[in-house]
Structure formats: C-alpha cells, structure tokens
Structure 1
Amino acid sequence: MTRPIRSHFFNAAWFYGAGIVLATGMILGQAALSLLAALVYVTAGLSWLWARHALDGLHYSRKLSETRAFRGDVLTVFFTLENRSWLPLAWVEIDEHVSDRVRALNVTRLPSDRLGTRLLRHTTPMRWKYRISWSTELECLERGDHQIGPVTIRSGDPFGFFTRQTTINDVESFLVYPDVRPMPELNIPPDFPFGLTRVNHHLLTDPARVIGVRAYTPDDSTRHIHWKATARLQEPYVKVFEPTVDLQAGIFLNLDTFERYWEGMDFRRSESGIVAAASIAHHLIAERSIVGLAANAVVAGSDQNLRIPPGRDARQRTSILEGLARLQPMAISSFPRLLTSAARDYPAGSTIIVIACIMTEPLEIAMQSAIERGHRVMLMRIGEVPVPNLPRLTVASLPDDLAHRDRTTRHRYARTVQSGMVN
C-alpha cells in the first residue's frame, strides 16, 4: 500500500506567495524577483518528481535463519534492499515491525502504532543500481507464535521537501517453543502399553495384537467382546491381547491457577506448568514412549481445548511442542471434566500425568475415577499444592519458576552490512 506524496516544507502559501512575487517582478521589471519565484517553482517541481519516483526501483526482501526456536535462542534475520533504477536516493528509511516478545540485540527498538510490536529502523543512502544487505539477531524472550512484518519504506528528494511511503504487508511467522528442561527424578514408570517387547507375565496388553479369546467376566470391557466367537459359542467371549512392557502416557495440563475464575491468573505458575509439560513429553518421547497431551486451554486461532492423540515418533514431539508454544495460558473449560473424558481414551494400565497448580475436590474425584479404571495416576504439582489422600497416587513436586529461570548459555551478537553494485 503506497500513500500519497507528503510535503514537509512546501504548502499552498508557498505557491500563492511565489505567484504574487512572480507577478510583481514582471510588472515592476525586477528580474531578481521573477527569478526567485521561478526558483521556488522549479525546486518544488523537481523535488516532487524525485519523490514521486523514489520507490519505483526499490526491491526489499528478508529471510529468517530459522522458523522454529526455543526460548532464549537467537535467530538471525537477513535483510536486502536493492535499487534497480538509475535514480540515486539520498536516504531510504525502513521500519520493520517485530513482535515485542523478542529482543533485537544491540539495536534500539522504537515504539510502534501496532499492538504487540516494536520497530526496527534502518536508514541508508542508495546509489543507482545498488544493493545493500544487513542482518539483525533476535533473542526469543517468550514462547509463542511471533511475527516479523509488515515493513514500511520511505524515501524522497535529497532535500527532504517531499516523501513517499509504502507498506509491504509481507509477514513472516516464527514459532518459539517453551523451555525443555531436564526434569530430575521424574519417577515415571518406564513401561509403556503399546510397545513391541513381549513378556511372560501379563502386566499390560496391546489392543492391536489379539492372540485368542476367553470367556467373558464382569470385569471385562464390552469394547473387547469378540462378536464372532460369541455368536458361534452362544455365550460372551472377549479378546485376549498380547502383553507388552511399554506403557502409554497421557499428559494432562491444568492451567487453572485459582479456584475461582474471578480471582485472576498467576501467569508465573501457568507458564511453569507449560514448561513442565514440554519437558516431560520431551523426556518420554526420547525414551521411545507413547505420549499424548490435553490441556483446558486453546491454541491461538482455535476455540477448542488442546488435545493431541498419543504418539511416539519425532513428529509427535514436534506436535506437542508446537501446541504448547501456541497455547494460551488461560483456562477456558473445566479441567476435571476434561480429565474424566479424555482419560477414557487411554487403556487400563496407562500412566495419567496430571500437572496442576491447584487442587480442588472435583479434580480429586476425577483422579480417583482414573485410578479406579486401572490407570496409574501421577500428580506433578507446581508450587505448594495440597496432596489428596488417594491410593496408588504418585506425587512429584516441581518449582513454580521453571519458565523464568535464566539459561546457562549466552549468545554473542553479530551484525553485518554488505553493499555492492547490482549487475
């Protein structure tokens, strides 16, 4: 979008005044007055034409070194400005909008009229048929889906009388993952239910591997009834599954930080819960475990709770990290209800990992229900959270400042400028 040429010096009074001076000089025969008035018109006209074509030959581009990063990482943005015309420009000003949740190293960020952004300004002269390149490093301060762009380019005549401005609505996004920190002594059982290792005793079973049938008992799920055998033998029979030692884990993230919504949000603890979920998922998938994720909050651009089905490959780790990166740190639904419904997707013997900043009676009931259905329930509490008196409940305590701890690595800033003639 290109705006009309703007004058910073000349206005209607200048032209009316120059016309009066020109007429007076011609009537009185004063060549100096006429020459002065003509000089005003010529200067204004040439400056306007210069500004009118100042942006015609400019070509601007940018490129991100990475589109995925972790909090604290440093990305490099490469910029290129090229003047493809024969018109030299005394000055070109470039204002690049960038998320205010990243920090430009050794470059001053200016205020912006766009919510949630700051300006990176670069000013340079441009000869004809000329190209200049530079780079800026951005330190990722917070997780989230960040953007760079749009960009505004201004230029004009050499005297600064007139300027022309254009806005290029080219926006690039880059995703910043939450921290993945080493989680000491997780105490998570190493056996996962949908694995490939056979055992001689039936710890857990894999529903994908049927090895026979047996008579139905009241403790069996109706989902496991073998209908063909039941019809043939005229009494209910259920499938017998092959046992495995792998266990399926579901990570359930509760972003409620107060019992009542009107009490507000404790973003410190909610962000720590997100870091804990990312760290646990990363650890379990690295051990080739089957992991799923659910949270009572939405990701940016959606109105549904975050739910990621179980998986174990590298794509599952990416899906979980991307979901947590885009997750809004505010609860929108009942976590106990989410836990009760989503835990049914995990077979008996699975580990249910509950990450919570508070403990309520409905949540305690939901965890008790999961235990009664045969799940192994682990409570990862963020901060001082009361421990419910539940049988077979494993409890681990995590600090409430996981998301705000300093990283041990430091990055050195480097900024380069290159220029040269355009071939």
Structure 2
Amino acid sequence: MLMNYTSIMDPNPELTRHFRLKNLFLPIVVIGLIIQQYFAPHRAWEVLLAAFGGAFLLSAVWAFALYRGLSFKREMRHGWAQVGDKFSEMFTISNHSRFTAFAVELIDHSNFPGYKSSVAWPVRGNFDKLWYMDNMCTTRGLYNVGPTEIRTSDPFGIFEITVHSAFKKQILVTPPIVSLLEIEIASGEWHGNSGAQSRVFDRTVTAAGVREYVSGDSLFSVHWLTSARREDFYVRTFDQHPSSDWWVFLDMDRYMQVGEGLETTDEYATVLAASIADRGLKENRAVGLVGEGSKPVWLPPKTGSGQRSEIMYALAMVDRGDTSLKSLLAKAQRFMERKSSAIVVTASVDPEWLGALTALKQRGITTTVLFLAPENFGGMQSSTPILNQLNSWGIRNFVITKNIYAWPDFQEIFPNQWTALSPAAVLDRGALP
C-alpha cells in the first residue's frame, strides 16, 4: 500500500533534454570503411560497413526514442522534519518508448548533509521504475531537495541522453522535541488588582473554553466560529489566573560552547529551547524566543501555532555568534513586562551574565536557568561557582547533561547513514499506455 507523497517537482515541470554523441569510435570506423570501400572496393568492406553502419543507425534510433520517451518524478512525504526523523522520498522513472534503457542513472544535486540518493536502474520499454529512499535527518537547518537529472545511453554507449529538472524544494529540519516534565519553570506571580497588573492581565489572558451567550456578556468575547457552527451565540471563557509570558533566552556565544559533532552545548541548547517553547505553547502560554548568532533572533511572546512555526524555524537556522549572554539579557529586559518568566538556556561560565539576572529580579521578572554544565560535554571549566551563586540568590536552576536527549546511533540504524531500501522496495510498474 503506497503512502501519500507530495511531488517536489514543478506542477508543470520544465524538463531540459540533451542528446549528444558520447563515443566517437563507431562513427570513425564507419567513415573509415566508407573511405576504404571508395578507394579499394572489396566484399569484406561492404560486410563490415553494413555491420558497423547498422549498429550506428540502431544506436541513433534507440537513443532518440529514449530522448523523447524518458521522464521522471520525485516526491516526498513532508516539507519539514525534526532531527532524528526519517526523511522519505519516492522516485519514479518512466520510459514511454518501446526500447529498454539498460542503465538509467539518477543524479541528485540536493545539499542535504550526507544525503546520497543517486542510483542507477534498468527501465524496460513502456514501464516505469518506482523506488523509495528512507533516510534519517541528522542536522537541523534549511536544505534544498533537487535539482535532479537522469542520464542514460543506447546499448552501444554511442549517444548520451540527459533529462534535467532545475526545480528544487526546501525542507526544514528543526530540533527534536523531548519531554522535560522534570523541569519546573518558575512562573510570575499575580497579586492584587492594580492598573498596571490589569494591563498585563488583559494581554496575556488565555481562553479556557466556550459557553452559551447570556445577557450582559461583552460582544468582544463572542467566539464567532463556534457561534456560526452551532447557529447560536457562544462566548469564550477565560482562566481566572492568567499565565505569565515565557521569554526563552538562547545563548549562542561561540566562545562559551564546548563539545564535538552533534554533542555540543549549542545543539543541546536548541533542543531545550524547542522543547520548552513547545511545552509552553501547548499550555496556551505566550512564548517568545531571544538569541543571537550570525543573525539576531527576536520573537516577542505570542500564542498559537503560528508562533510555534516561527520559533521552530528560528531554532533550525540559528548558529553561533559573538554576542554574550550578558548583552543579550541587557538588550531584552526593557521590553519585558513585570511578572514575566525568563528561561535562560546557557553553557556560559562567565560570571558577568549573573548581574543581568539581578536586574531582571529587581524588575519582578522570575528566572529559571537551564545550565549545560561544560564539564558534562568535555569542557575543562567548572560550573560550580555559577551554580553556587544561582542557589545563593534563590534562582531556580537545572543542570543539563547529555542524558537529557539520547542521540541515535545512526550507524546501527542505517549503515552509511543514507542508504536505499532493499531491492524489494524497487518496483516495476506498467505497462504504460
């Protein structure tokens, strides 16, 4: 049973076809025999000329039929994935001619890390060849799938046929989402009913459900979609105690990162930030993200699936930069409301950023620190002074080790990381009309 795949080819694909003479041996032999027969006629030259000339003519007819009859299609299941997900593609090469293409080579020009989908298959006349590639996403980022081309020749290798599609589709690989139930985020407190607090309350209040409209309800609370569906007025019901905004601070200071390969502190930091943001948004909280690599990341707190998409895209693309955590916190604090929650994800052992936390505390902003202890990632510096200071100030903190997320052993799951499925996954489909 085939799964649903989405074509990455242009709905009206512009396939560029090329037909060229690849091997000059046979044409030269034919020309030589013609010259030899002209100047020194002999029955042997006639026989050889008929054989080699016939082979050349057959090659030309065969190659031209494949030139006109070959096409291909490339499809994938999704345009996004998480690190650790399988990336599935389906390829189809169609041969609409009557001649067999004995070796059709598919050449993939994707920039997916380590991705090699180039293969070669025979394709019979009036049939198509269908196969699947099932690979694992190992690195976050935005990548191109395509351009793609197929290449084949006649049985004698005299002519080469190339069919090229310049179309490409982007696939976004985001950090994985892991369960962090053991991490409790310190939330802002709500006391009294002052004007300033009411202003923040109105902005961050979250809807808990709907109920039937009663006389006196504000029209601003009407849930119009539910009202239209049920053909009666329904209004939103709200939580009595609104959730505080979550500001997730991602420290990407290149001078503070340690580790090698996939097991670096900044890679784990993106996993933590993605998981915390996902959790907050599922709790109907307004969640924002602040970070700075080669480009700044500034996403003020919002709710909803749109904000989730923005955060995941930013985390897929963020890289190391030169901005310190101290500078990052200092830039953002003036935009944060009282009673917000700051969640700091860092591996920095530079004590200067601790001063920025005191400034947040003085403004009534509660802080939780997710600390990627460098010594747990192969670093030489001790995290003890930082942790002691946080504990003395009563700032909630959690020490993160490699066990928070177990990277899969790609070599055990997929030999050579990216491999075509077994021959059983390659199908001939036809005959074509």
Does the Cα contact within 8 Å between 1:377 and 1:394 map onto a contact in 2?
Answer: yes
Q: Over residues 315-343 of structure 1, what are the superposed CA-to-partner deviations in whole Å (9 max), with x where a residue is unaligned?
A: 22222122212223x12434422221123
Q: Secondary structure at the match of 1:315?
A: helix
Q: 1:23 corresponds to which residue? A: 38
Task: Structure 1: give runs of 5+ residues left out of the alignment.
Answer: 103-116, 194-198, 211-242, 299-303
Q: 1:177 corresponds to which residue? A: 174
The structure carrying a bigger strand percent of its residues is 1
Structure 1 residue 273 displacement after superposition: 0.7
The structure carrying a bigger helix percent of its residues is 2
Q: Which residue, 359, 366, 375 being the options, matches 2:349?
A: 359
Provide the aligned C-alpha RMSD in A: 3.6
Q: Secondary structure at the match of 2:179?
A: coil
Q: 2:141 corresponds to which residue? A: 144
* TM-score, normalised with respect to structure 1: 0.74
Q: 2:408 corresponds to which residue? A: 406
Q: Which residue, 115, 118, 121 being the options, matches 2:116?
A: 118
Q: Secondary structure at the match of 1:118?
A: coil
Which whole-Å CA distance do the structure 1 matches of 2:261 and 2:123 have between them?
Answer: 49
For the pair 1:205 / 2:197, whether they are aligned, the reply is yes
Provide the identity percentage. Answer: 21
Which whole-Å CA distance do the structure 1 matches of 2:325 and 2:261 have between them?
Answer: 15
For the pair 1:422 / 2:432, whether they are aligned, the reply is yes
Q: Secondary structure at the match of 2:312?
A: helix
How many residues of Structure 1 are paired with residues of Structure 2 in the alignment?
362
* TM-score, normalised with respect to structure 2: 0.72
Which whole-Å CA distance do the structure 1 matches of 2:66 and 2:432 have between them?
Answer: 17
Does the Cα contact within 8 Å between 2:21 and 2:160 map onto a contact in 1?
Answer: yes
> What is the correspondence of 1:16-415 to structure 2 with a 5 Å cutoff?
16-26=31-41, 30-101=42-113, 117-127=115-125, 129-190=126-187, 205-207=197-199, 244-259=241-256, 268-298=264-294, 304-328=295-319, 330-384=320-374, 385=383, 386-387=385-386, 389=389, 391-400=393-402, 402=404, 405-406=407-408, 415=425
Task: Structure 2: give runs of 5+ residues left out of the alignment.
Answer: 1-15, 203-239, 375-382, 415-420
Which amino acid letter does the alignment assign opposite residue 432 of structure 2? V
Do the aligned partners of residues 209 and 400 (structure 1) sit closer, same or farther apart at CA in structure 2, a change above 3 Å counting? closer
Which whole-Å CA distance do the structure 2 matches of 1:85 and 1:12 have between them?
Answer: 25
Q: Secondary structure at the match of 1:54?
A: helix
342-351 or 365-374: bigger deviation:
365-374
Which amino acid letter does the alignment assign opposite residue 86 of structure 2? V
Q: 2:235 corresponds to which residue? A: none
Q: Secondary structure at the match of 1:56?
A: helix
Which whole-Å CA distance do the structure 1 matches of 2:256 and 2:154 have between them?
Answer: 62
Which amino acid letter does the alignment assign opposite residue 5 of structure 1? R
Structure 1 residue 178 displacement after superposition: 0.9
Q: Secondary structure at the match of 2:255?
A: coil
Q: Secondary structure at the match of 2:386?
A: coil
Does the Cα contact within 8 Å between 2:74 and 2:91 map onto a contact in 1?
Answer: yes
